[in-house]
Structure 1
Amino acid sequence: MLYVLRTGCQWRFLPSEFPKWQTVYAYFAKWSKPDEHDISVLERALKKSGWRGPRETGAQRHAHTIDCGRAEREEHGHSREQGL
């Protein structure tokens, strides 16, 4: 599960040294269910281990850059329209 979270890999593309993706996903789904305090077993384990969240993948950085550029272009386009 940490491999998927860290790399952004899709479940079906787990490396062959891992169990079948369906098995890994079944554990993920079971451990991700929130308890009566709205906290999952997985969340408790991750917090206890000091895990700080997924790292941003190259594809995510690229998408973020594109989104920021698009927002900037839209902002400048709107400010020009308002100035007319």
Structure 2
Amino acid sequence: MELTDPHTLVLDEATSLLDPSTARHAERAMAAARADRTVISIAHRLHTAHDAGRVAVMEAGRIVELGSPADLIAADGPYAALGRSWHGA
């Protein structure tokens, strides 16, 4: 494995300074670079987590939920509450 072809990518707030529409375009453009890799994406925006295979929700430095976005919505816990507040509900 070369440094220029890593197995794992860590993206820490990679799109935090972009508006949501531009961030989605950037995420789509990065899709090819993420293919066949493990990606750990640290984000505060829910749209970043939407396409994740697994999401870890943290509160006060502790993981309070772990699962797919759909499973976390169905569980109606902190992730679902964030989604409702994000959408103004």
TM-score by length of 1: 0.29
Greater helix proportion:
1
Q: Which has the higher contact order (CA 8 A, sep 6+)?
A: 1
Greater strand proportion:
2
